Amino acid sequence: MEQVIKITPEPKRIYFRGRWFDFDGFQNFPEFLSKEFEVKKGSWKINWVQREGTGIEIKEKEINIWGDKNICFATILQLLIENKNKFPEVLIEEKLSFLFRGYHIDLARGGVLNLDAFKKLLRFLFLLKYNYLGIYFEDLFPWDKYPQIGKLRGRLQREELREIIDYGKNLGIEVFPSLELCGHMENILSLPDFGKFSEWHIPQEGCLDISNEDAKKFAYELLEEVIEFFPSRYIHIGGDETWALGRGKSLDKTGVFQGPELFEGYHRTLINMVKESGKIPIVWGDMLTGMYLREEEKERWNVVLESDIWDDTIIANWDYTHLPEEHFEKKIDMFGERVEKELACPGLSNWGRFYPNFGIAISNIKNFLLPAKRKKLPGFIITSWGDDGAECLYSYLYPLLLAAMEIAEGVGMWEEKWMALTGEREEILNVRKILGENDIVETIKHVFLGDLSYRYYTYVSHEDLKSTGDFWSDYYAQIASLLTDKNRLLAKYTETLEKIEETALPEDLALIRDMLRIGIKRVKNDLSYSDFVAFANKYAKLWISERKKENLDVVITKIFGAAGRADLKLF
C-alpha cells in the first residue's frame, strides 16, 4: 500500500516503518469515541505507556499511546478515517505550541445551530485537536429571570445547552459562554422591556447606559445566571466596539464625556464577579487600545489600557485584516507584559457574505498566528461571525477550521490534509477556493441581490475612488470599483462559471454556483422571479439542515425582495 500518512496538524515527527496492518476493531477504545465515530469492536488493543511528550506507536494489533490522550485518540481516528480499516506501522510524536486552541461561533446574528449540527462541529473540532469552543450568545442564552429575551429568535434551551456542554466535555473540549454586557446588546435593548437601559436614544445602536444603576444591575443579573449555569473555567464578558459609550444619555447627565472611565469601572465589577466565582474572565481587546478610534481619542482611552484590572484577565486580541506579519507583531505588543494572558483572535471572513473570503481568511490566520507562536502567546481563538443575518452556511467554514489548525500548529499544507481527512477530490477543493476568491465573494452578494451598493456604483457613481490611507476604507473602495464596471464583472463571473460548470458539487457549493449564474443574468439584465424562488428553496433546505428555523426569514426576505424587484422589472 502506498505511503499516505497525513495528520492534522503536522506532527513533530512521523517515522513510517513501511508496513500496513488490517484493522478489525478495538478491544478497549473509549466507549464514547467508539460510539460517536463508529469505531468497531475487535482484537486491537490500546496501551497507555509512560514516555515524555505526546505520541502514538502503532504495531501489529496494538497501539501504544502517551501524553495527551485526546490528541492521541484524535490522531488514531484521523488515521482510521483516512485509511479505511488499515493502520500503518508508525511512530508519531506530537508537540503543540498553543495550550488554548479555540473556535468561537456566533449564534446571535441569525443562525442557531441545531443539536445535531453542534455535535458534528464538536466532533470535527476534536479531530483537529481544538480544545475550546466559545458560544457567542448576545440574547440567546436561556435566562430564567428574563424569559422574554431571545424567545422569538430560537435561543438555546437549558437542556440543549447542557447536552452541548456535556458532549464537548466527553471530547475534551471546554464549551464556554461569550456574552455582551456593554455593547452589542441591540437584540436585548430593542425589546420594549429594556429600551430604557440604552445609552443611545435609538436602542438598536446596542450600547448599555452604564451610568444608570438599574441598567448595571440588570447586566449583573444576566452575568450571574451565566456564571451559575456554566461549568467552564472561562467566562467571556465581551466589551468590544462600545464606541457609543459616554456619548448618549450618560453625556446628557453631566455634559462631560466619560466613556473610558465608565468602561473601566463597569468592567472592573464584571471581572471581579467572574473571579469571585472561581472562574477566569476573558475580554475583547479592542477598546483597551482604542481600535478604530481617531488618534486623539486613543489617547483619551489610555486610562483603560493602563488599568490594573486586566492583569488577571485573558485579553482576546482580535484583528481581521490581511496585513503583513509586522502589523500583527505590533498588535500583539500593544498589551506589553500581558502577552502571557493574551489570545490571538483571527477570523474566517464569513460575515456579511454568503460565502467566506478564503484569501483574506487564510492571510489573516497565517499573519496573526505565526507571530503569536513566535511571541509564545498561550493560545488562539478562531472567530466566525454572522453580521447581516448569518447568510454564510456553517458547512462552508469546515475547510478553514482545518486550515487554521494546520497553520497554527503544523506546516501550513492544509489542502492535502483536508482532502485526506474528508476524502474530497482536488477538483471540488479547487472550486471551494475559486468561489472564495476576493473578486467573486466580495461582489456576488451585491450583484445577486441587486442591493443599494450594486445599484449605486453601477448606475450612479462611476468615479475612480482615491486611496484614503485607511485600510478598510480603501478595501471597500476596491469593491466599489469592481461594481462600477459591469463588463469586467461579467467577464470575471463568466470565466469563473466556465471553470466550475461541469464539476459535480455537494449541495452547498452548488448553491453558490447557482448564485453566480443569477449574478451573470443580472449583469445581462435577464432576471426572472423563478430564479430567486428556486434559489430560496434550496437555501432554506440547507439552512434547516444545520440550524433552527428562527431567523431564516432575515435572509429569505432579502432573496424574495430581489425576486419581487426582478418580477416587476424595477431593477
Q: What are phi and psi of 378, to 5 degrees?
A: -70, -15
**Mean pLDDT, range 14-26, rounded to an integer:** 97
Q: How high is the pLDDT of residue 8?
A: 98
Q: Is the pLDDT of residue 413 over 80?
A: yes
Q: How many other C-beta atoms lie within 10 A of the C-beta of residue 152? A: 12
Q: Is the pLDDT of residue 104 over 90?
A: yes
Closest CA to 338 of 367, 318, 308, 380: 308
Q: Which of 415-419, 430-434, 476-480 has the lowest mean pLDDT?
A: 476-480
- Going by the DSSP 8-state scheme, the letter that residue 346 receives in this structure is -
Closest CA to 318 of 281, 364, 366, 358: 364
Residues in the chain: 571
**Mean pLDDT, range 334-342, rounded to an integer:** 91
Closest CA to 101 of 9, 229, 163, 13: 9
pLDDT digits (tens, 9 = 90+) for 223-232: 999 999 999 9
C-alpha cell at 157: 434551551
* 3-state helix, strand and coil shares in percent for the chain, rounded to the nearest 5: 50, 15, 35
Q: What are phi and psi of 441, to 5 degrees?
A: -70, -25
pLDDT digits (tens, 9 = 90+) for 54-72: 999 999 999 999 999 999 9
C-alpha cell at 484: 462600477
> Distance between CA 292 and CA 257 in Å, rounded?
18
Amino acid in position 485: D
Instruction: Judge if pTM exceeds 0.85.
Output: yes
Q: How high is the pLDDT of residue 285?
A: 95
Closest CA to 500 of 518, 516, 523, 522: 516
Contacts of 72 (CB under 8 A, 6+ apart): 54, 55, 56, 65, 66
pLDDT digits (tens, 9 = 90+) for 368-397: 999 999 999 999 999 999 998 899 999 999
Q: Is the pLDDT of residue 2 over 70?
A: no
pLDDT band at 1 (very low <50, low <70, confident <90, very high): very low
**Mean pLDDT, range 44-50, rounded to an integer:** 97
pLDDT digits (tens, 9 = 90+) for 177-191: 999 999 999 999 999
Tell me the three state secondary structure of residue 254. Answer: helix
**Mean pLDDT, range 467-478, rounded to an integer:** 82
Higher pLDDT residue, 458 or 110? 458
**Mean pLDDT, range 209-218, rounded to an integer:** 97
Q: How high is the pLDDT of residue 475?
A: 85
C-alpha cell at 184: 452589542
Contacts of 88 (CB under 8 A, 6+ apart): 3, 5, 16, 17, 19, 20, 21, 58, 79
Share of the chain above pLDDT 90, in %: 88
SS3 sequence, 534-549? HHHHHHHHHHHHHECC
Amino acid in position 294: R
- Going by the DSSP 8-state scheme, the letter that residue 315 receives in this structure is E
Closest CA to 435 of 375, 473, 393: 393
Q: What are phi and psi of 146, to 5 degrees?
A: -130, 70
Closest CA to 33 of 2, 78, 66: 78
pLDDT digits (tens, 9 = 90+) for 275-330: 999 999 999 999 988 887 888 788 888 888 889 999 999 999 999 999 999 999 99
| Radius of gyration of the chain, Cα coordinates, nearest whole angstrom | 25
Query: Would you put residue 85 in left (φ > 0), alpha (ψ -120 to 50) or beta?
Result: left
pLDDT band at 509 (very low <50, low <70, confident <90, very high): very high
Q: How high is the pLDDT of residue 462?
A: 66
Amino acid in position 73: F
CA distances from 387 to 39, 86, 236, 283, 470 (A): 39, 44, 19, 20, 22
* Sheet strands (E) in 23-173: 45-48, 54-59, 62-66, 86-94, 100-106, 132-136
Q: How high is the pLDDT of residue 476?
A: 83
Contact assessment for residue 376 and residue 409, using Cβ atoms and an 8 Å cutoff: no
Burial tier of 128 (Cβ tally within 10 Å: 0-12, 13-18, 19+): buried
Q: Is the pLDDT of residue 78 over 80?
A: yes
Contact assessment for residue 179 and residue 237, using Cβ atoms and an 8 Å cutoff: yes
CA distances from 151 to 147, 188, 209, 290, 297 (A): 7, 11, 23, 34, 38
**Cis before 9? omega within 30:** yes
Q: How high is the pLDDT of residue 274?
A: 98
**Mean pLDDT, range 85-110, rounded to an integer:** 96
